[in-house]
Amino acid sequence: MINKDTDNKLPIYKLTSKDKVLKYYDDWTKNAQFNQDMIDWEYTAPVNTVQLLDKYIHDKNIKILDAGCGSGLAGIELKKRGFTNIYGVDFSQSMLNLIPNNIYQTVELIDLNEPLKYDDDDFGAIICVGTFTYGHVKAHALDEFIRVTNKNGYICFTINEGIYTEYKFDKKINELSKNKSWEVLNLSKSSYIVNKDVEAWLCLAKKN
């Protein structure tokens, strides 16, 4: 396997503390620079993830949690495909401030590394794009995603290729399959940030 040195692709990948990551986002979002960079860098993850989820969900009114919604890029794609009942959460207020109006029912400041405030079986689907990456959310968050997703609901997410084994996402995905918490329907490499030569694992699972 070729070592792509993924952790050196972006400066934010070098940050290890929550405070440093939040400060980076505070600076990155000034003058909407984050959104412009995502365009310039060909950040394809939101489109790829929503496209996959849309293949399995036919009820456009299903309640969806956009976990780590950032500036709303995945929410915008969901809206384009007719989904109407979307809730956004992120740990950066600066990113939430960039979200256009009328994308989400609500947006809230939440750290996904902590237990979620939602009831069991609260959502029909969860989408999580660009959040499982260096210095952000760890694999244990998947346990909470399963808890708040209802039976036969879907969990669709990306994992930066550089942390897939380092953060033990490979083991977590297998563990949740073996204990029959979910059934993995898709796990494949996908484009992510094209102009930075960074790929991601794209996973879609159905809760048992």
pLDDT digits (tens, 9 = 90+) for 47-93: 999 999 999 999 999 999 999 999 999 999 999 999 999 999 999 99
- Res. 128: pLDDT tops 60: yes
- In DSSP notation, 93-159 reads HHHHTTPPTTS-SEEEE--TTS--SSPTT-EEEEEEEEEESTTS--TTHHHHHHHHEEEEEEEEEEE
Does the model's pTM come out above 0.85?
Answer: yes
Q: CA 4, CA 127: separation in Å to the nearest integer?
A: 27
Mean pLDDT, the chain, rounded, equals 94
| Per-residue model confidence (pLDDT) at position 1 | 41
pLDDT at 140 over 70: yes
155: Cβ contacts below 8 Å, ≥ 6 apart: 125, 126, 128, 142, 145, 146, 149, 182, 203, 204, 205, 206, 207
Residue 8 binned pLDDT confidence (cut-offs 50, 70, 90) = low
Per-residue pLDDT for 5 more than 70? no
Residue 15 has pLDDT above 90, yes or no: no
Q: Which domains does the chain have, with CATH numbers?
A: 15-113+131-207 (3.40.50.150)
> Predicted confidence band at 14 (pLDDT cuts at 50, 70, 90)?
confident
